[in-house]
Amino acid sequence: MTRLLPWLRGATAVMTLLLALLLCWQCIDIYADGNAAENLDAGGVHIAPVYTREDVGARLMTLAIPAGVYALLIAATALVQSREPQQAEKAGMTAENRLRLMKRRVAELPAAAAHEEVLRRNIWIATAAVLTLCAAMAGLFLLNGSNFVSWDLEVVMGEMLRHVAPWAAVALLAVYVALRACDASFTRECEALKGQATVKPDPMQEKPFPADVLRADLYAAAIVFIVLGVMNGGLYDVLVKAINICTECIGLG
C-alpha cells in the first residue's frame, strides 16, 4: 500500500491533465465546426447555433470513459490514503535531502548507489532531449511568419494551439515522469546506503562561512565604488539631476 499510493497520486495527476486537455479540445472542435464555412451564410451569419445542448451533450459523452477512469483513480487514491493515516504524520524531509545527509556519513559509495547516480543523470539527459525536441517542433510553427499573416485572430490562435499545445503537454509530462523516476531513484539509493561504514564528519568542512567576513567585504566594496564614483564626477552628475528634478518636476525654487 505504501508504494502504491505515490503511483496512484501520479496517475491521478496525469489523468487530470489529460481530461482537461480533452475537454479543451472538444470545446475548440465545437467552435471550429460552428464557425466553418458550411455554417455561415453569405452575410457571415451562423445558420445554426455554434453551441447547442445536443452537440455539447454528444461531445461530452465521448469523454465518458476517461471521466470514469478519472473517478475510479480518485476513489482508489482516497481509499488507499484512508488506510494509511500515518502518511499525514510523516516528516517533511524529501528523499533527496535525506540522501544528501546520508552521503556525508559514508566512507565510500557502494556500486548500487553509484548506479543510481548514473541512472538519474541519464534520465535528465533523456528529458533534456525530449524538451529540446518539443521546443524545436513548437518553434518551427512559432517562428514561421506565414502562420500569422491572417487577420482572423481566432483562426490564428486555433492553429497555434493545435500545433503548440500538444508539444507543451508532452514536455510537461516528460518533466513529471523524470521527477517521479528521480524521486524513486533517491529512495533506492538511500536504501543502498543503509548499513554502510560511517565516517565522522570533519568539523572544518562543516564550519559555515563567517557572515562577518562577507559583510565586511560588501562594506569595503561599497566604499571603493563610492570613492570611484566621486573621483570620476558621478557625484556632480547626481547633484545636477537632483536639482533638475526639484526645480523642473516638483516645482521647487
pLDDT tens per residue across span 76-113: 888 887 776 554 444 466 777 877 777 777 777 778 88
Nearest to 183 by CA among 78, 76, 99, 87: 99
Nearest to 179 by CA among 2, 19, 14: 14
Neighbours of 185 (CB within 10 A): 20
Percentage of residues in the chain having pLDDT higher than 90 = 9
Extents of the domains making up the chain: 1-90, 95-201, 208-250
Of the pLDDT bands very low, low, confident and very high (cuts 50, 70, 90), residue 157 is: confident
How many CA atoms lie less than 13 Å away from 198 in the CB half-sphere? Answer: 7
Region of 99 on the Ramachandran plot (φ > 0 left; ψ -120 to 50 alpha; else beta): alpha
